[in-house]
Structure 1
C-alpha cells in the first residue's frame, strides 16, 4: 500500500524498489542485481547520510551490478520511504535495522557502505553485529570514537556546529522541511567542495521533496539529538564503551580533501580503531559527499576494493 512520500522516493532507473519488514518497521530498499541473475552475488548494502536518502547511491548501484555485485540502497529509519517511527534513532536500534534488512533479503551477512550518518551506523553495525558485516566501506565518516574525540578538540568544526544547532526544538525541522527556506540546498553546497559541480538543482529538489514529507525532517534530526542527549545518559556511555572494541573487518575509508565538516585528525585517529586491513583514499577537489561529487572515482575505488576482498 502506497504511503505519503513514496512517490518522492520511488525514482525510476536501472534498479527496482521494494519494501521489507525488519526490526518492527518497514524499510524502503532499492536493488540493482547483476545482469547474470546470480542469486549468490555478494550483497552490498548502502547507507546514506543527512539530509539525503537512497538516491545518493544512484551512480554506485549500476556500477556494483555491472561488476557482479548485488547492490541494495536502503532508506534509514525516518528517511525517504522507510517508516517514520516516534523513536528508535539510537545507534543500537539502527544497527538492528540494518541487520534485520540483511536477513530480510535472505542473507546472513553483507558488505556495508555508509556515507556520513550512514557511515556512523555502518561502524556501529560492524561492532554490534560483527558476524553479519563481512567488510565495511565508509565515505566522510571517521570512526564514531575518533569523530567524538576530534569534535571535543575542535569545537569550531562544522559538524559540531550543525549538531548543536539541531538541538533546538521545532525550529530546525521546520526549516529543513520548508523548501522556501532553501536550507537543504545551502547545506549541501556549504559542505561540498568549491571545485565540485554538486549539488545541482535536480539533486536539491529530489532531497527536499523527500525530507519535506512530515515527519521526515523531525526523524532525521533525532539522530543528531540522540548524540547530544546521550552524553549524560547510560545508553550513551554504554555505546562509547562498546565502540572501544577495534573493528576487525576489512575497511575502506574515503575522504574529501575539501571536507569542511570533519574535525582535523579524525581520519588519522580512526586508524587506532581498526585492527583489520585498512585502505584509505583522500580525493582532491571533493568535499563531504564523495559518492556524488566524484561518483566515477568513488565507484571505481569501491569496486576495486570489493574485488580484492
Structure 2
C-alpha cells in the first residue's frame, strides 16, 4: 500500500512524494525516473532532501532514484521506544520499501549514518541489495569491542560526541531551543569551506560541562547550503524534534549484539566508496579504507575528493553524480535491475 504524501518542501522538479507501508510503520520517500531501483539513505541530521541533486541526475541516467526519510525523520514513522531505532529495524525498513515499490532488487547508497545502514542492508540481505555505495563513512565490519566502551576511551578528558548523544534528552535540550542555528553550526563545522582551521579544537569533542555547539565556529553558511536549504532542514526538525534521529546513536551497543553472527564479515556485492579528504570520518577510519581489499572484495572504485568535507553529495554534487552514474552503469545487469 502507498499513498501520495503532501509536499510542503522545497521542490525537486518532476519528483513525486509517497508514503509507503513497511512492517515497522510508514516511510516517506521521494522518487524520480524509471528503470533499475536505486535507494538513497541519508544520515544525521539530514533528510531525503540531502539527495535533491542526485534524484534528477540518476533519473536522467535511466534509474529509478528513491530517497527516503529514515525512520524518525520527516514524514516517516517515529516510534517512541529507543530500541525501535536499532540497525535491524532500519534494514527491515529498506527491505520493506523495495517491496512496496514492487521491485525485487535494488542498489542501495547511503551517506553518514545512511552508509552503515546501506552496508548492513547489503550484508544481511544480499538477495535484495545487489550493490552498495557508501559515502563519507567507510565500511568497517563489527569488531570485538563494545562500541560505547570504545567511544568512552576516545578524547581523553573530553567526551566524544557519540557518548554525548547517549543519554536521552541531553542533546535534545541543546539543539531544540534553536534548531536552525544548531544545524547551521553543525553543517558548517564539517564543510570544507567553513570548518575550523587545522589544529583548532575538534568539533566532535565536548569538554566537561560544555555543549557540542560550544565548538561551532562563526555564522557563515557553507557554499553548498542556501538560506532556503537551511530553512527546509530546520522546519523538518522543528516539526519532528531530534529524539528519533538521536536514537540511532543510542542503539550502537544493541547493534553490536544483534550483529554478532556477522562479526568480521565482508560485503561481497559490487561496491563504491566516496569520501572527502577533510572529513574526520575519512581520516579517523583510514584503517577501514586500507582494509577494503578484505572487507569489500568487489570494490569497483574508491574516491577521496580533495578539498571536500563531510557532506560530499551536497558539497560536490556534480562530481558525486558523475561517480555514482559511472558506477551504476558499470554494474552487471543483475546488480541493477
Same fold? TM cut 0.5: yes
Closer/same/farther in 2, CA of residues 27 and 10 from structure 1, 3 Å limit = farther
Instruction: Return the alpha-carbon distance in structure 2 between the equivalents of residues 33 and 148 of structure 1.
Output: 42
Q: Which of 74, 80, 83 in structure 1 is aligned with 2:74? A: 80
> What secondary structure is seen at the aligned counterpart in 1 of 2:266?
coil
Instruction: Return the alpha-carbon distance in structure 1 between the equivalents of residues 94 and 7 of structure 2.
Output: 23
1:71 aligns with 2:65: yes
Q: Which moved more, 1:166-175 or 1:249-258?
A: 166-175
- Please give the TM-score of this superposition, normalised by the length of structure 1: 0.86
Structure with larger Rg: 2
Q: Which of 281, 288, 292 in structure 1 is aligned with 2:314? A: 292
- The offset of 1:86, in angstroms, is 1.6
1:213 aligns with 2:239: yes
- Hey, what does 1:171 align to over in structure 2? 170
- The offset of 1:284, in angstroms, is 1.0
Closer/same/farther in 2, CA of residues 180 and 52 from structure 1, 3 Å limit = closer
- Please give the TM-score of this superposition, normalised by the length of structure 2: 0.79
- Hey, what does 1:201 align to over in structure 2? 227
Query: CA RMSD, aligned part only?
Result: 2.5
- The offset of 1:191, in angstroms, is 1.1
Instruction: Return the alpha-carbon distance in structure 1 between the equivalents of residues 71 and 179 of structure 2.
Output: 25
> What secondary structure is seen at the aligned counterpart in 2 of 1:130?
coil
Q: How many residues align?
A: 290
Instruction: Return the alpha-carbon distance in structure 1 between the equivalents of residues 297 and 183 of structure 2.
Output: 37
- Hey, what does 1:99 align to over in structure 2? 95
Instruction: Return the alpha-carbon distance in structure 2 between the equivalents of residues 134 and 193 of structure 1.
Output: 32
Higher helix share: 1
Instruction: Return the alpha-carbon distance in structure 1 between the equivalents of residues 74 and 106 of structure 2.
Output: 22
1:226 aligns with 2:226: no
- The offset of 1:222, in angstroms, is 0.3
- The offset of 1:109, in angstroms, is 0.8
Deviations 1:192-240 (A, max 9, x none): 11276233322222111111223x410000001111x43xxxx623414
- The offset of 1:174, in angstroms, is 3.3
Alignment gaps of 5+ in structure 2: 195-221, 332-337
Instruction: Return the alpha-carbon distance in structure 2 between the equivalents of residues 93 and 180 of structure 1.
Output: 27
- Hey, what does 1:131 align to over in structure 2? 127
Q: Which moved more, 1:71-80 or 1:192-201?
A: 192-201
Instruction: Return the alpha-carbon distance in structure 1 between the equivalents of residues 43 and 248 of structure 2.
Output: 11
Closer/same/farther in 2, CA of residues 130 and 213 from structure 1, 3 Å limit = same
1:118 aligns with 2:114: yes
Does the 8 Å contact 1:174/1:217 carry over to 2?
A: no
1:251 aligns with 2:268: no
Instruction: Return the alpha-carbon distance in structure 1 between the equivalents of residues 42 and 16 of structure 2.
Output: 17
Deviations 1:154-182 (A, max 9, x none): 8249xx82211112331312333333672
Closer/same/farther in 2, CA of residues 276 and 180 from structure 1, 3 Å limit = closer
